[in-house]
């Protein structure tokens, strides 16, 4: 939990702007070690490194859906909250409008990206 709060402070203090959200940041340590083995999705693996939250027995956080078992349930997006989709996981930086958030995630077009995204396919929120 402290890692999420610390990350939020770093991102908000860094002056990340929506124009920067379209830049791709390739993290080859993830793409080579995970994606290089048969095209395995790596958003969950990246989120573990990003948040410091690790898999535990019975919970494989390499699978996005397993992030529904992390932390506590919250009822909507807010800065620092993890959004879980059936096959993707992301962290909210800020809410930009109804059903829209600025978020960071791994394996977004085979890169780590910060961009605005819809929350319509999000099936759970975790803190």
Count of domains forming the chain: 1
What confidence score (pLDDT) does residue 36 get? 44
Residue 120 pLDDT greater than 70, yes or no: yes
Residue 66 burial (10 A CB sphere; 0-12, 13-18, 19+)? middle
Tokens of 65: 């859906």
CB atoms within 10 A of CB 64: 22
Residue 5 pLDDT greater than 70, yes or no: no
Examine residue 71 and state whether it is found in any structural domain, yes or no: yes
If we measure between CA atoms, which residue out of 12, 16, 89, 102 comes closest to residue 53?
89
Does residue 26 or residue 105 have the better pLDDT?
A: 105
Query: Rounded CA gap, 81 and 104, in Å?
Result: 11
Does residue 5 or residue 41 have the better pLDDT?
A: 41
Examine residue 17 and state whether it is found in any structural domain, yes or no: no
CATH number at residue 94: 3.90.1720
What confidence score (pLDDT) does residue 41 get? 82
pLDDT band at 71 (very low <50, low <70, confident <90, very high): very high
Examine residue 95 and state whether it is found in any structural domain, yes or no: yes
Examine residue 20 and state whether it is found in any structural domain, yes or no: no
For 91, the domain range is 2-12+25-126
Q: What is the mean pLDDT of residues 27-56?
A: 73
Examine residue 99 and state whether it is found in any structural domain, yes or no: yes
Beta-ladder partners of 91: 82, 104
Examine residue 45 and state whether it is found in any structural domain, yes or no: yes
Residue 16 pLDDT greater than 60, yes or no: no
Examine residue 88 and state whether it is found in any structural domain, yes or no: yes
Examine residue 18 and state whether it is found in any structural domain, yes or no: no
What confidence score (pLDDT) does residue 31 get? 44
């Amino acid at each position: 939990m402290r890692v999420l709060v610390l990350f939020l402070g770093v991102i908000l203090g860094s002056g990340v702007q929506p124009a920067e959200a379209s830049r791709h940041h390739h993290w080859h340590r993830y793409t080579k070690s995970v994606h290089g083995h048969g095209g395995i999705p790596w958003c969950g693996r990246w989120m573990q490194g990003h948040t410091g939250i690790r898999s535990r027995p019975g919970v494989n956080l390499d699978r996005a859906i397993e992030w529904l078992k992390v932390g506590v349930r919250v009822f909507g997006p807010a800065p620092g909250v993890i959004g879980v989709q059936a096959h993707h996981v992301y962290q909210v930086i800020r809410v930009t409008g109804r059903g829209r958030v600025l978020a960071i995630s791994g394996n977004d077009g085979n890169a780590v990206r910060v961009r605005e995204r819809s929350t319509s396919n999000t099936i759970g929120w975790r803190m």
